[in-house]
């Protein structure tokens, strides 16, 4: 152990530069570390005893002493190097300042030219971008014709198609964008033609609907006019029927009055004639000689005037066909029976009283008037 300590004392820690080679040796410290490693590596201490505690603290002090002595030696060895490095740095800074004084103007010129080149590059790129944007805008304008054609009349879309078709898309005009411009033109024309066809179909359908509407209005107007004319006709017919009924009533009233007066005249003449015959009979009887016995009273039979007898003994002679001829239209026996006029059948002929003719006309007129009134009410 003492031999190791003696050997360690002969060793030294050093740092030097020899022929450009840096040599750093901590030989003495390494030897002391080896000695302590051998002594304390894996060592354990019974700190519960005074001796163990003392031994542990002594071991820590040995190691701490070696560590602090190494740090002191490091600073000692490095101090000349630090001073040397400072001097190197200071001299380098001085020379660097002189170099920079020469370098900066040249660097400024180079950087100015580099900036000029960069500015020129950026300007070329800006011009190229603006040029490309101009072509892109024109291509977008071609494509935008599709959106502008939405919901337009077919004629205006056709005008737009003609304008798009007139666009020149050669390389002389569009350069490297010619192919894209031609593609945009082709797709735009196809879409616009489709929109034009759809617009034509809508317009034709709208025209058809409008024509149908006008036709419906015309038919409705004709129907209204026909209804108004029919109403006017029905009103006129009703007025005519009313006038006819009034006229027929007047005729019937006049005929009834004339018949009444004729019957009264006939009856008066009959009574007068009967009275004259009775008076003549009495005169003739008085002139003839008679026995003293007073004769029995003579009852004179009432003579019947031929006209009255004709009215009371009238026979049906008016045929159904003659009634139709007088009316100007055909009626049936069943129809007249429904009005209250029964026919007398002789062979195959339907016969009516001649005196019933005015009443037949009046009944038919009343029936026609009733039908007209019912139609107007409907």
pLDDT value for 11: 84
Rounded Cα gap, residues 5 and 269, in angstroms = 204
Q: Between 25 and 341, whose confidence is greater?
A: 341
What's the whole-model pTM score?
0.38
pLDDT of 192 > 60? The answer is yes
Of 156-160, 166-170, 280-284, 291-295, which gets the smallest average pLDDT? 291-295
Q: Which of 167, 172, 147 is nearest to 157 (CA)?
A: 147
The SS3 assignment for 351 reads strand
**Overall average pLDDT of the 133-155 stretch:** 93
pLDDT value for 5: 45
Q: Between 113 and 284, whose confidence is greater?
A: 113
Phi, psi of 297 (to 5 degrees): -65, 140
If you average pLDDT over every residue of the chain, what do you get?
85
Phi, psi of 345 (to 5 degrees): -90, 125
**Overall average pLDDT of the 73-98 stretch:** 90
pLDDT classification of 312: cutoffs 50, 70, 90: low
């Amino acid at each position: 152990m003492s031999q190791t300590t003696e050997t360690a004392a002969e060793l030294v820690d050093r740092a030097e530069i020899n022929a450009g080679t840096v040599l750093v040796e901590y030989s003495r410290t390494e030897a002391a570390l080896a000695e302590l490693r051998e002594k304390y590596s894996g060592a354990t201490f019974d700190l519960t005893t005074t001796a163990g505690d003392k031994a542990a603290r002594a071991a820590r002090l040995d190691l701490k002493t070696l560590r602090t002595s190494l740090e002191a030696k490091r600073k000692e060895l490095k101090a000349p190097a630090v001073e040397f490095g400072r001097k190197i740095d200071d001299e380098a800074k001085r020379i660097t300042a002189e170099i920079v004084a020469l370098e900066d103007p040249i660097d400024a010129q180079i950087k100015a030219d580099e900036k000029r080149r960069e500015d020129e590059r950026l300007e070329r790129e800006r011009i190229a971008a603006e040029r490309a944007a101009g072509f892109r805008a024109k291509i977008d304008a071609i494509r935008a014709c599709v959106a502008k054609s939405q919901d337009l009349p077919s004629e205006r879309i056709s005008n737009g198609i003609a304008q798009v078709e007139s666009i020149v898309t050669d390389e002389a005009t569009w350069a490297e964008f010619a192919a894209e411009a031609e593609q945009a033109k082709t797709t735009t024309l196809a879409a616009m033609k489709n929109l034009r066809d759809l617009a034509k179909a809508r317009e034709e359908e709208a025209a058809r609907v409008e024509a149908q509407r006008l036709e419906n209005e015309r038919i409705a107007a004709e129907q209204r006019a026909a209804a108004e004319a029919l109403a006017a006709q029905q009103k006129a017919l009703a007025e005519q029927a009313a006038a006819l009924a009034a006229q027929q009533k007047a005729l019937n009233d006049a005929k009834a009055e004339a018949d009444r007066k004729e019957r009264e005249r006939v009856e008066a003449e009959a009574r007068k004639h009967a009275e004259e015959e009775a008076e003549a009979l009495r005169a003739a009887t008085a002139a003839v000689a008679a026995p003293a016995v007073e004769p029995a009273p003579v009852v004179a039979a009432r003579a019947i005037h031929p006209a009255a007898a004709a009215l009371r003994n009238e026979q049906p002679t008016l045929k159904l066909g003659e009634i139709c001829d007088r009316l100007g239209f055909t009626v049936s026996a069943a129809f007249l029976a429904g009005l209250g006029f029964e026919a007398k059948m002789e062979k195959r002929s339907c016969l009516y009283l001649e005196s019933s003719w005015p009443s037949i006309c009046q009944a038919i007129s009343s029936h026609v008037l009733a039908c007209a009134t019912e139609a107007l009410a409907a």
